[in-house]
């Protein structure tokens, strides 16, 4: 397994498409965070420093999006790009038959590839975080507290888990589909569905299961909303965004409520609230994390079962 | 002489089609066994079952004393298998490909380099080891495939169509190489092919498989006597055609 993992790691770091995507993400992240950082500095001028300013660097929306939204959007692509051709590329190059006729367990092939992907993602995300933090330190001039560092750390772990889910899914598709293009398209289609259309889909499910006959009846509306929320939890994208927004925003009490406020209003409002301590935040997101892990495990289990029974003929 | 490969009524069905039909076969130590048959005869399917890569529908097999369905790992450790149309990692050099295989076979680090050089020398690729495999010719790739098997010091080589797509010169080189390995190292060889006149030069015994059934086994002399009569010559092609017409 380590041999395969080592080889895959070398492949990832020398593959052009991975490097291109990573540079793109890094550049956009640097630029947008820089804009947010200067914005925060201006707002903070003359105001006494509130707590948890550092996290705002990552959650505040710049011109278009916050860094967290950006990673939530592009992280899956990273996972897909590393996994979609994991097995079928070996099949196409006729190296799979050779690989499975070596004295290794068949699951070591999947494990090695998955592990290499997770390591690559971790290295990419951690190095990016360090860069951004360094830049934030310089431009905002605020040193993050231990708790903020802890939150960022948890955020990193959740993000790695999220990208790993997409990696696992992409590997599953690379086993299911013999053609590289098909498995890439299938993974991207699912990604688009979960990221953009999950809202509609869960509303449809909710309308089917507990329809609102009378829009004035608050109970019916609430029930409908509950079902819709529950249905949207199948989507790893929803799980991830709920988990990270709770982790990075200590003022968020429940898992739902969304308020649209400007940066300054937000800062002044927070003076009257006490933030949720880190361990409480983790407690709040724990169910989401478990669900995310469960989804990844399902992908994995399916991959094993299918790959073990698959015919390895080189045609 | 000990049997290296032994099968009993080995059968494999794909749906209603029988790919291998009640194959009973024995291959002994130090033999070069030619496994002959036209396209779709079931040669590859048989080989996959011997390596535990496909489950037999019924019947049993033993390779080096191990059961392929229960002990595939032990078999894979000691058997060098060259798949038909073998592939390589084209963006790695020949040496890097060999190193990867050596590591998968858990060769001790200290011996890997030495093993790689020895294997390259044996197949005559020592000058080309640092070229990317993507730039190899068909013949070179096929020889690199053999080098990959030699890394693990196999007791048995199973070669699926090792001469496929080679020109006459390449075919001869390949056969000479296999012959030398069997003679110098005492390796047992099972090779499948449908290019009869070529493999008959090195095979000690052949089996002819048609539509999943083994229709004949024996030395070329035996088969010739049986089909062409005394003094009928020793042309395997001729023998083969007769079996083929009967089937
Ligand atoms: N996965 C499969 N599903 C259905 N039928 C299959 C499958 N694999 C093989 N077959 C059938 O089994 C038969 C034997 O195939 P096999 O590949 O063993 O032949 P072969 O002797 O190796 O032929 P060739 O010389 O073309 O390599 C063929 O008729 C083939 O169609
Ligand atoms: Mg074949």
The SS3 call for residue B89 is: coil
Spans of all domains in chain B = 3-83+155-246
Report the complex ipTM: 0.88
pLDDT score of B20 more than 60: yes
The mean pLDDT of B194-202, rounded to a whole number, is 81
Q: What residue numbers bound the domain in which A236 lies?
A: 2-309
Among A97, A102, A312, the residue with its CB nearest the CB of B104 is A102
Q: Is A80 exposed, middle or buried (0-12, 13-18, 19+ CB in 10 A)?
A: buried
CA A203 to chain centre: 23
Atom of ligand 1 nearest to the CA of B45: 18
Provide the pairing of β-strand B205-210 with B213-218: antiparallel
Q: How far apart are the first and last CA of chain A?
A: 25
Computed over every residue of chain B, the mean pLDDT equals 90
Within a domain: A315: no
Residue A273 has pLDDT above 70, yes or no: no
Residue B147 scores a pLDDT above 90? yes
When pLDDT is cut at 50, 70 and 90, the band that residue A275 belongs to is: low
A3 and B104 within 8 Å at the Cβ level: the answer is yes
Lowest mean pLDDT, pick from A9-18, A54-63, A219-228, B160-169: A54-63
**Which of A103, A106, A307 should be substituted to probe chain B, the one whose Cβ sees the most B Cβ atoms within 10 Å?**
A103
CA of B40 to the centre of ligand 1 (A): 5
Query: CB–CB of B87 and A94 under 8 A?
Result: yes
> The tokens of B243 are what?
């079996």
Of A43-57, A262-276, A280-294, B210-224, least confident by mean pLDDT is A262-276
Q: What is the percent of chain B where pLDDT is above 70?
A: 95
Instruction: Decide if pLDDT at B155 tops 60.
Output: yes
How far apart are the CA of B192 and the centre of ligand 2, in A?
A: 8
Tell me which chain B residue has its CA closest to the CA of residue A15. Answer: B91
pLDDT of residue A53: 72
Q: Where does ligand 1 bind, in terms of residues with CB under 6 Å?
A: A 311, 313; B 14, 17, 19, 37, 39-45, 84, 194
Least confident of B78-92, B98-112, B214-228: B214-228
Query: How many domains in chain A?
Result: 1
Integer CA distances (angstroms), B32 to A138, A168, A222, B122, in order: 73, 45, 78, 18
A155 vs B247, more confident? A155
pLDDT 10s digits, A90-121: 999 999 999 999 999 989 999 999 999 999 99
Four-CA torsion A163, A165, A171, A175, nearest 10 degrees: -160
> How many Å lie between the centroid of ligand 2 and the Cα of residue A85?
26
Residue A314 lies in a domain: no
- Domain B3-83+155-246 sits in CATH at 3.40.50.300
Residue A84 and residue A73: Cα distance in Å, rounded? 18
- For residues A38 and A183, which has the higher predicted lDDT (pLDDT)? A183
CB contact under 8 A, A93 and B89: yes
Q: Read off the pTM.
A: 0.89
B84 and A314 within 8 Å at the Cβ level: the answer is yes
Q: Which atom of ligand 1 is nearest to the CA of B46?
A: 18
In sequence order, what are the residues at sequence separation of 6 or more whose Cβ sits closer than 8 angstroms to the Cβ of residue B116? B95, B98, B99, B102, B129, B151
Q: What is the pLDDT of residues B33-73, one digit of tens each?
A: 999 988 889 999 999 999 999 999 999 999 999 999 999 99
Task: Give the model's confidence band at B131: pLDDT under 50 very low, under 70 low, under 90 confident, else very high.
Answer: very high
How much is the average pLDDT of A15-42?
A: 87
Choose which residue among B17, B46, B247 to substitute to test ligand 1 binding: the one with the highest number of ligand atoms within 8 A of its C-beta.
Answer: B17
What span, in angstroms and rounded, lies between the C-alpha atoms of A234 and B241? 63
* Chain-chain contact of B87 with A313 (C-beta, under 8 angstroms): no
Task: Report how far residue A203's alpha carbon sits from residue A184's, in angstroms, rounded to the nearest whole number.
Answer: 28
The token pair at B41 is 């005869």
Nearest residue, CB atoms, A93 vs list B51, B76, B87: B87
Which whole number is the average pLDDT over B108-113? 93
pLDDT at A220: 83
């Amino acid at each position: 397994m380590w041999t395969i993992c080592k080889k895959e790691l070398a492949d990832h770091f020398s593959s052009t498409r991975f490097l291109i995507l990573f540079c793109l993400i890094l550049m956009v992240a640097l630029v947008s965070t820089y804009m947010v950082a200067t914005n925060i500095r201006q707002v903070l001028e003359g105001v006494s420093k509130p707590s948890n300013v550092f996290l705002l660097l990552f959650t505040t929306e710049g011109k278009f999006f916050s860094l967290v939204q950006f990673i939530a959007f592009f992280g899956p692509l990273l996972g897909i790009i590393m996994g979609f051709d994991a097995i079928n590329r070996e099949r196409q190059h006729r190296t799979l038959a050779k690989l499975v006729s070596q004295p290794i367990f068949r699951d070591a092939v999947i494990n090695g590839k998955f592990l290499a992907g997770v390591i690559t993602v971790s290295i990419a995300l951690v190095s990016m975080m360090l860069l951004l933090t360094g830049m934030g330190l310089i431009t905002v001039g605020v040193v993050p507290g231990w708790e903020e560092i802890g939150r960022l750390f948890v955020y990193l772990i959740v993000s790695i888990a999220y990208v790993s889910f997409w990696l696992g899914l992409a590997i599953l598709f690379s086993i299911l589909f013999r053609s590289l293009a098909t498995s890439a398209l299938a993974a991207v289609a699912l990604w688009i569905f979960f990221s953009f259309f999950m809202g509609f889909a869960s509303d449809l499910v909710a309308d089917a299961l507990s329809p609102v006959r009378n829009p004035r009846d608050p109970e019916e509306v609430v029930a409908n909303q509950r079902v819709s929320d529950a249905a949207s939890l199948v989507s790893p994208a929803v799980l991830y965004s709920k988990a990270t927004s709770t982790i990075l925003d200590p003022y968020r009490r429940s898992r739902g409520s969304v308020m649209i406020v400007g940066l300054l209003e937000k800062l002044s409002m927070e003076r009257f609230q006490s933030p949720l301590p880190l361990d409480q935040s983790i407690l709040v997101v724990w169910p989401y994390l478990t669900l995310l892990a469960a989804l990844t495990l399902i992908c994995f289990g399916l991959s094993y079962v299918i790959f073990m029974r698959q015919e390895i003929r080189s045609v | 002489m000990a049997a290296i490969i032994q099968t009993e009524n080995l059968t494999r069905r794909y749906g209603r089609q029988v790919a291998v039909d009640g194959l009973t076969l024995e291959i002994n130590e130090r033999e070069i066994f030619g496994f002959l048959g036209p396209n779709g005869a079931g040669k590859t399917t048989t080989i996959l079952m011997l390596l535990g890569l496909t489950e037999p529908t019924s019947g049993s097999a033993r390779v080096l004393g191990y059961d392929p369905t229960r002990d595939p790992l032990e078999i894979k450790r000691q058997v060098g298998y060259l798949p038909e149309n073998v592939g390589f990692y084209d963006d790695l050099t020949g040496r890097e490909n060999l190193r990867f295989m050596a590591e998968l076979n858990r060769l001790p680090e200290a011996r890997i380099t030495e093993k790689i050089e020895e294997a390259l020398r044996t197949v005559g690729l020592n000058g080309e080891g640092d070229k990317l495999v993507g730039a190899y010719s068909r013949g070179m790739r096929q020889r690199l495939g053999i080098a990959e098997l030699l890394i693990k010091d196999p007791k048995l080589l199973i070669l699926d169509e090792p001469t496929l797509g080679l020109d006459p010169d390449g075919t001869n080189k390949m056969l000479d190489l296999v012959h030398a390995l069997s003679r110098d190292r005492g390796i047992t060889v099972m090779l499948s092919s449908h290019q009869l006149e070529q493999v008959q030069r090195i095979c000690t015994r052949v089996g002819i498989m048609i539509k999943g059934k083994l229709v004949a086994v024996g030395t070329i002399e035996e088969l010739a006597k049986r089909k062409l009569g005394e003094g009928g010559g020793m042309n395997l092609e001729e023998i083969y055609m007769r079996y083929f017409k009967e089937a």
